[in-house]
Amino acid sequence: MTSKTLLVIATGNAGKIRDFAGILGTERFEYKTLKDIGFDSDIEENAETFAGNAKIKAKVVAEFLHKKNVEAWVLADDSGLEVFALNGAPGVYSARYSGEHGNDESNNELLLKNLEGIEDRSARYYCALALLHSSTPNNEPEIFEGECRGNIGREPVGNLGFGYDPLFIPNGFSTTFAQMEISEKKNLSHRGSAIRKLPF
C-alpha cells in the first residue's frame, strides 16, 4: 500500500480542507490544517496582492515544517472580491474592508455605499494559490490563479454563503452565491478554478 502525500493547507479553517479534498480527492493525499501541525503563530499578510500574501503564508509554513523535518506540500491561498469600478477594491482588504476583520454585514454595507450611483457593478472573486514543498522552503512558491466573474447586486440576498456572497451574482445567473447550494457554487468558485490547475 502506497503511503499518502501530506498536504498542509495553510489555514485554520477546516472548511477549506473540504474544498481541496472535494477536487483533489482523498486517495493520494492526507490533509492537515495549521492547527493539525501545531502551528499557532500569526502570519503577517502585508503584501499588496493576493499572490503576495499567499506566498508569504506558504514560505512561513514550509519553513516551520522544514525545521521539524516534516516532508509535505504546503498550499496557501489568499482570495477576495475585486470590484472594477472601485479600482479593484476591496481587494486584499476584503475581510476587513469596513475596518473590523470578518464583519460580513458591515463590509457589505460599505461596498453598497461606495457603489451608490455607479452603473458598472462588474466584479470578480479571485483566488491565488501558492504551492511550495517543505524540503525547499527558500524556493519561490508556484502560483495558481482562479477567478469567477459576475456583478454586485443592489441588496444582499440569500443566507447560504459568507463574505460578499449575498451581493455577488455570477455571470450567467440571476441568483447570488448566497442562494446557491455548495455543490452548484463549487463548480463556479474562484478557489475551485485555482485548485483544478494544480499539478497533482
Question: Would you please indicate which residues are annotated as catalytic (active-site) residues?
Answer: 78
Beta strands in 66-186, from DSSP E residues, in sequence order: 73-83, 122-133, 142-152, 168-170
Dihedral pair phi/psi, residue 132, rounded to 5°: -150, 145
Give the sign of the dihedral formed by CA 89, CA 8, CA 11, CA 165.
Answer: positive
Distances (CA, A) of 179 to 6, 160, 161, 167: 34, 6, 7, 10
Listing DSSP states for 13-76 in one string gives -HHHHHHHHHHH-SSSEEEE-TTTTT--PPP----SSHHHHHHHHHHHHHHHHHHTT---EEEE
